[in-house]
Amino acid sequence: MNDDTTLRDDLARERTVMANERTLLSYSRTALGVIAVALFIFKFASYPTDLLSGVPVLIFGVGVWLWGIYRYRKAATKLTPDEAE
């Protein structure tokens, strides 16, 4: 019974770790899409005001990517077992 519980707990932890990694990839994919839109704006902007509208989009894309990394590390820290115990 104890081995079965340990195996179940280990598999649940692995599923949670993989879900955390998938979430990081989702944040990265979203950030990449937003950054691509900003680069599209920079490439095809015909007026300086159009060019300025790409800057907040780029900043938002980088912010989404950094927020995803922050959330990933925060969750990964919670998922790592303490070595002191």
* Domain count across the chain: 1
Q: How many residues does the chain have?
A: 85
Q: For residue 52, what are the domain limits?
A: 2-78
Distances from the Cα of 80 to the Cα of 3, 14, 71, 83, angstroms = 21, 11, 14, 9
Is residue 32 one of the residues assigned to a domain? yes
Is residue 54 one of the residues assigned to a domain? yes
In this structure, what DSSP letter does residue 83 have? S
Q: What is the pLDDT along the chain (85 residues), one digit of tens a residue?
A: 567 778 888 888 899 999 999 999 999 999 999 999 999 998 888 888 878 889 999 999 999 999 999 999 999 998 876 644 4
Is residue 84 one of the residues assigned to a domain? no
Is residue 62 one of the residues assigned to a domain? yes
From the number of C-beta atoms within 10 Å of its C-beta (0-12, 13-18, 19+), residue 48 rates as exposed
Is residue 85 one of the residues assigned to a domain? no
pTM of model > 0.75: yes
Residue 15 to residue 22: CA distance in whole angstroms: 10
Is residue 18 one of the residues assigned to a domain? yes
Is residue 69 one of the residues assigned to a domain? yes
Is residue 61 one of the residues assigned to a domain? yes
